[in-house]
Every structure is written in structure tokens, then in C-alpha cells.
Amino acid sequence: MKTFVKYTLWSLLGIVATASTVLAYVALTFDPNAYKPQIIQAVQENTQRTLKLDGDIKLMFFPSVGARLGKVSLSEFQSDREFASVADASVSLAVWPLLQKQMVVNQVNVSGVKVNVIKYKNGTTNLDDLLSHKPEAAQVAPSPDHKSSVVDFDVASIAIENCELQFDDQAAGNQIRISKLNLKTGRLTNALPSPVKLSAHIQTTQPKMDIALQIATTMSFDIERGRYTLKGMELAAEGGVLDVSGLVLKLAGDASADLPSENYELNLFVLNASGKNAGEPFEAHLTVPSISLKREDFSGVNLQLNASLDGAFGKASAALDLPSFKGNMDKFSLQGLSLQAALVQPEQSFSAKIDTVLIGSLKTMQFNLKDLNIALKANGDKLPGKVVESSLKGSVQADLERQSLHAKFTGGLLQSRIKAEAAIKNFKVPVIRYDIEIDKLDVDPYLPPKVAKEAAPKAVVAEQPFDLSALKALNVNGSVRIGAFKAANVKLTKLRVDLIARDGIVNIEPLSASLYQGAVNGKVRVDAHTSSFTVTQKLIGVEIAPLMKDAADLELAEGKGNVSLAVTTQGNTVSALKKALNGTVSVVLADGAIRGIDLGKLVQGVQNLNKDSKAETLGVDKGEKTQFSEFKASLKIKDGVAHNDDLSVRSTVLRLSGSGDVDIGQDKMDYSAKVIMAKTDQGRTGSLPVRVYGPFDAIKIQVDYAELLADIARQRLNEEKAALKQKLNAQKAAAQSAAKAKLDAEKAAAKAKAEEKLRQGLKGLLK
């Protein structure tokens, strides 16, 4: 716009110079129309442009000296294309004042001016040839009485009607068109107030703008003293700018300038604006009773700004109150700065108030918000207690030249006490440091409620990938410590999260807390270049049941123990991360239970089974559970599938082992386990195969009773075989014992008989 004004002024000066040359020439002739060919030829020879004088030239000599031209046009350089034209122009000067070295212009009337300025892509313009032909001013030494030789300026009136100025900036791709330009003044002379009215229609393409402008004021000036004033200034603009439509802008106030002392003042300034931004109505109101600028010093009082926007998100409003401000380039202060903002929605409302003192330097671009007080408030039926209030105190220091920012805050945030400090360097590629300490924080009341799952499946929606590119430029080093923390119903104490991010690598270590009678300690690593994640966590002495209940509303297991996790994955969607999961998980629990099924009851109820009992599929029964004294299992995860083959569950009545897979990527599982019942008083046991399978949201449990009956039948058969064998062995032993006894008796009888014979024989020998 500044370039456009410059070229427009040169164009007008060119037209005025051309018109003045014509007027000066014809004023010395009696029949000016007879000299049109000479005038046209002179312009052609000097400027290489074609001058057309289509109307008659009329002269006036008394009581005023002047001339009136009909239609006049000037072509482009060495072209027939029209550069500028005037439909009608007249100027008249009072004769007697001229003789007294006073310029009294009776009237200046111009209508139908058209100027077309073009700036080409190479930086040249269609004005360059005219500007290069400026005549050099004759060097005349000032006379001793220079002041007395100055011609007084006095114009009775100026009337410019229906003018059009166009500027085509081909280098910037912008077109500016000012049409319906009208200017009307009263008498213009030193120290005499004069009414001035200006109207125009302004259109631009970069930025897009279409404005109808009207200005009315009373102007006075003192050329010798360099003083200028505008009283009762009223500006009105209507139209559209960028996405703003129906814009109505009204400005009023008084302005003055004293050039020698460089003193500028603006008084009783009022600005009102309204319209629609992207279809959303807005209003703004600014009042400044007094602003003054004297050289580098400025001051003002009672600046007030109010604005509102009625948008789709609600009705927003803001108010700025500045009781006083003063300073210069080296140092300034804004005392009592107060900013209020509010947002009203159908079910809730929010408000904020900031009170502070701003001290700074425009020279060094250093700023300090001292005694900063921030008050926040929210109202709504869905908010905790229907009202939430917070207040913070602190300070902010900014050095825009060095691109640094440092802030400290203490106070209440939500229901928490917070102490925070943060620093930022290099605004283009920020280096962020922070340290935050909070006594307690419960974010659940402020999170949206969980949506119940719908029975009917929703239409499949393409999964949106997440973008980690923002992490590549992140340079952050900070720590957050929270005494008591609750989120998603999970309760933690002594939470500490330290984060270091640089060159696209984010490391969170430690990630530690106390939870559910135990502790968790671990770390997380994110690589934004490869969209990869590494998670290492250890839970020690944690009660699993309340943790699973609070975290996921699941009732799958009980027990206290340790869980270790070391996994990696890569991908840019949640499903891709699940399918690329690799690593290990280890679980060791004691004195707990597996919920949803009582395996001991199933095994012990074998007496109720008959020969026709087969496999049965069961659902999960939250009222049932399988007690254990020890639970051990490890998972090896590869490509999103977790495999287990070392399950070991022990209790006083059963042992459980098994193997199978949990497909994390497909949200399903297929696991086979074998329940072995402890031996009864009769020495019997039972082996019950159990299969757990299906999608996570519809798990099925299949119990193979036929296999259990077969196992029991095998045990009974083995028992009967053992009893029969024992009986046979007893009978065999009895027979063998009887035969032996008979043989022993026969042997004893034979021996006795032999001994008797021997005695009888010995007796015979002794006779």
C-alpha cells in the first residue's frame, strides 16, 4: 500500500505538472485551442507518450485567472494504451492577491481522473520514464528577506469527484483499486478550520479486501509553525476483509501534530467494529481518552478494550483495562494492567482474569510481567461441585532479542497446590526446560465420561495414522513430581516422570511411582525417526486385583507379586504397534486366585458326571474363582503374538499347567491348560483339560469332561488291575506256602522216620 501511494502521488504530480504546463502555455495565448497540435507534439517529443485533448480549452482572465480543460488523456510510454485521463478539470486564481505575492485559489475542481500504475515482475514501473524526465530546479540563493518572499497559501475549496486509481503489482501478485474517490474541502489556509470530506471504494486481492470508506473532519494547519490538527474526526468503513464479512468500522477522535517539537496527540479516541468472521458474529470497542507521543516518550490513560465473538464453540468475550501507561524506547511501564476473558457454553462457562504490571524496553526487547496474578473459574452441572476455581501467582520474563522466556508460578490449580518453573530459548526451534511439583492431582472429574459399547457394530472407519514428526524438533528436559495422582481411576503416589527429548528421541526415565501396596519403576523410549517404542517396566509387590479393576475394570486375577515387562514395537497406528510387538513378560504371584471359573469345583464334581458327559463350553462367571498359592508364567512376544508354555499354578487341591498363544494384534487368544486334582484319601486324582479361546470381548472356556472321565476310568481300571494282581499274588503266595508246608512236613516225617530207623538200628547193635 505504501508503494501504491508513492506511485499514485507521482502519477498525480505528473498529471498536475502536465496540466500546469498546459495551463501556463495557454494562459499566454488568445486562442488556446489553436495550439493543441503543438502541445500534443511537444508532449510526444519529450515523453514518448501520446497526449489527447478531446475537449475545448477555456480561459478566464478577470476577476480570476484560470483555465478549464475538457477530456484529457495520456498514453503509456511508446504505446497507444491509456495511462491516465481526466474527464474535466478547472483551476482559478484571484488576480489581486497574486500581485501581493499571495496565492488565493478560488477553486480546484477535478472529476473523472483515472490512473493505471503497473509494477512489473522485474521491479520497473510504467512511471519510470516520467520520473527520469524531472527538470532540475534552478539553484537560487535565498534572499535575506526569505520569509517575506513566501507566497501565502489560500484555497477557497477543492472538489475531486469520481476518480479511479489502479495499481497492478505483478511482482507481488496484488491488485489495488481505489474507485469512486471523492474529496471536498472548505477554505484551506493557515490557522483556519476547514471541513474535509473524503469517500472511496477500496479493493485489493492480497489480502482480499472490499471496503467502502468515508472520512469527515475539521482540519486546520499552520504551515510556518508546522502544526496540524484534526477535530471531530469520524471514519466509517463497511465491507469485507479476508474471512470477515459485513464489517462495520467506526472511528472518532481528535488528532494533532506539532512537527518542530515532534509532539503528536490523540484525544477522545473511540473505535467500534462489528462483523462476521467465517460466519461468526463479533464486536469490538476501544476507547482511549488520551495518548501522546513526544519524540520517544509516550503516555496515556484509561485505555479500555472490549471484544466478543459468538462462535460455534460458544460466546467468547474479553476485556482489557489499562489505567495508565508511559515510557519511551528505553523503558516503559504499564501499571494496573488487567485482562479478563470468558467463554459461555450451553452447559458450562469459563472465565479468567489476569492482573499484572508490565515493565519493559522496546530498545532491548526485554519485558517483565511482575506481580502476575491469574484467577480461573469454571461453572457447570457436570463439573465437580459445579464450580472449579484456581488461582496462581508468579512472574514472566521475556527477552525477545535473545529469544528467551522464563516463568515461575505457585498457587492452586484445580484442587491441587502447584509449584512450577519453565524456561524457553530459541523460539524458532524451542529449547524447553521445566520443573513441576504438585501435591495431589485427580484428573478423572475433568475427563469425558466413558461411552458404553454399542451392541450393533459400527461401520469400519479407516484408522488414522499418528504423526511423530513434531518430536524431531523437540528439545525438552523436565521433571514432574506428584504426591498423589489419579487418572483413568488408577491411583498412584510418589509419581515421578522425567523427560528428555532431543533430535527426535524421547526418553522418559525414571517413570516411577508407588501403587497398590507395591511400586513400579521403568522407562520409555520413543524414536520419532522410525516410529519405534521401547517400554521397560517392573512392578514389585503389587496387588493385581485392585490394579486391574481400577485400570481396566477387569476381574481376572487376584494376588500379590511381581510383573516385569520389556517390549518393543514400531508403527504409525495403534493396530500396527500391536502387530509389531516383541519382547518378554514375566508374572509371579502368590496367594491369589484366577477369577471367572472354579477349576477345583469342576474337578471335585466328577461324581455328578456320567458316561455320556462330554466337552462343555462355558462363559466367564464373575462369581467363581480358582484359588492358588503360587502363579508363575512368562510370555515371549513376537510380531504381536504372545506365547506361553511354562504356566505353573499350584494350590492345595490342584495343579495347573498349560501352553498357548495370545494374539495381541488380532485381539484374541487360544490357550490350552490341564488341571490336575490333588490325590484324595483313596489315592485318586483327576486331569481336566480346559481350553480358553476367542476374542477378548467374548472369551469362551471349554471343559473336556470326557477326557476327565476317561482319566478317572483309567485310574479305576488300574486300581482293579492292581487289586486283582494283589489277590492273585496272595493266592499264589498261599498256595506256595501250603505246598512248602506240606513239603516241609513230608521232609520232617521222612526225617523222623529215618531217625527212628537209625535209633532202632543202633539199639540192635548194642544188644
Residue 620 has pLDDT above 70, yes or no: no
**pLDDT value for 478:** 97
Please state, in angstroms and as integers, the Cα–Cα distance from residue 466 to each residue in 325, 508, 568, 573, 578, following that order. Answer: 47, 20, 18, 6, 14
CA–CA gap between residue 237 and residue 638 (Å, rounded):
69
**pLDDT value for 4:** 53
Q: Which residues contact 657 (CB under 8 A, 6 or more apart)?
A: 647, 648, 649, 673, 674, 676
**pLDDT value for 681:** 47
pLDDT band, very low/low/confident/very high, at 146 (cuts 50, 70, 90) = very low
**pLDDT value for 489:** 87
Is the distance from CB of 494 to CB of 515 less than 8 angstroms?
no
**pLDDT value for 31:** 66
pLDDT band, very low/low/confident/very high, at 202 (cuts 50, 70, 90) = very high
Across residues 11-21, what is the average pLDDT? Answer: 49
Is the distance from CB of 299 to CB of 287 less than 8 angstroms?
no
Residue 22 has pLDDT above 80, yes or no: no
**pLDDT value for 742:** 74
Residue with the larger pLDDT of the pair 245 and 623: 245
Residue with the larger pLDDT of the pair 573 and 709: 573
SS3 for 50? coil
**pLDDT value for 102:** 64
Please state, in angstroms and as integers, the Cα–Cα distance from residue 285 to each residue in 73, 272, 307, 316, 444, following that order. Answer: 46, 5, 6, 14, 40
Across residues 390-415, what is the average pLDDT? Answer: 93
**Run of H or E including 23:** helix 2-27
Across residues 472-500, what is the average pLDDT? Answer: 94
**pLDDT value for 16:** 45
Residue 29 has pLDDT above 90, yes or no: no
Residue 11 has pLDDT above 60, yes or no: no
Grid coordinates of 334: 504499564
Least confident of 32-36, 77-81, 175-179, 208-212: 32-36
**pLDDT value for 713:** 63
At 314, the amino acid letter reads: G
CA–CA gap between residue 392 and residue 423 (Å, rounded):
18
Encode pLDDT of 574-605 as tens digits: 899 999 999 999 999 999 888 777 776 765 55
Q: Which residues of 110-143 are buried (b: 16+ CB within 10 A; e: fewer)?
A: bebbbbbbbbeeeeebbbeebeeeeeeeeeeeee
**What single-letter DSSP state applies at residue 568?**
E
Residue 556 has pLDDT above 70, yes or no: yes
**pLDDT value for 350:** 93
**pLDDT value for 739:** 75
Least confident of 553-557, 673-677, 684-688: 684-688
With a pLDDT cut of 90, the percent of the chain lying above it is: 46
Q: Which residues contact 28 (CB under 8 A, 6 or more apart)?
A: none
**pLDDT value for 656:** 87
Grid coordinates of 311: 462462535
Residue 35 has pLDDT above 80, yes or no: no
318 CB-contact burial (10 Å; exposed 0-12 / middle 13-18 / buried 19+): middle
Residue 292 has pLDDT above 60, yes or no: yes
246-251 LR contacts (CB < 8 Å, sep 24+)? 246/274, 246/275, 246/276, 247/211, 247/273, 247/274, 247/275, 248/272, 248/273, 248/274, 248/275, 249/273
- Backbone phi and psi for residue 323, each to the nearest 5 degrees, phi listed first: -60, -40
pLDDT band, very low/low/confident/very high, at 149 (cuts 50, 70, 90) = very low
Residue 230 has pLDDT above 70, yes or no: yes
CA–CA gap between residue 409 and residue 233 (Å, rounded):
45
**Whether the model pTM is above 0.75:** no
Across residues 237-258, what is the average pLDDT? Answer: 94
**pLDDT value for 53:** 84
Mean pLDDT of the chain: 83
Residue with the larger pLDDT of the pair 102 and 312: 312
Residue 743 has pLDDT above 60, yes or no: yes
Residue 485 has pLDDT above 60, yes or no: yes
Across residues 156-174, what is the average pLDDT? Answer: 90
pLDDT band, very low/low/confident/very high, at 103 (cuts 50, 70, 90) = low
Which among 52-61, 437-446, 634-643 has the top mean pLDDT? 634-643
Across residues 474-484, what is the average pLDDT? Answer: 96
**pLDDT value for 137:** 47
Residue 132 has pLDDT above 90, yes or no: no
**pLDDT value for 548:** 80
Across residues 348-358, what is the average pLDDT? Answer: 94
CA–CA gap between residue 601 and residue 393 (Å, rounded):
63
**pLDDT value for 88:** 87
**pLDDT value for 678:** 64
Across residues 398-408, what is the average pLDDT? Answer: 95
Which among 15-24, 624-633, 742-751 has the top mean pLDDT? 624-633
**pLDDT value for 269:** 92
Across residues 329-337, what is the average pLDDT? Answer: 92
pLDDT band, very low/low/confident/very high, at 91 (cuts 50, 70, 90) = confident
With a pLDDT cut of 70, the percent of the chain lying above it is: 81
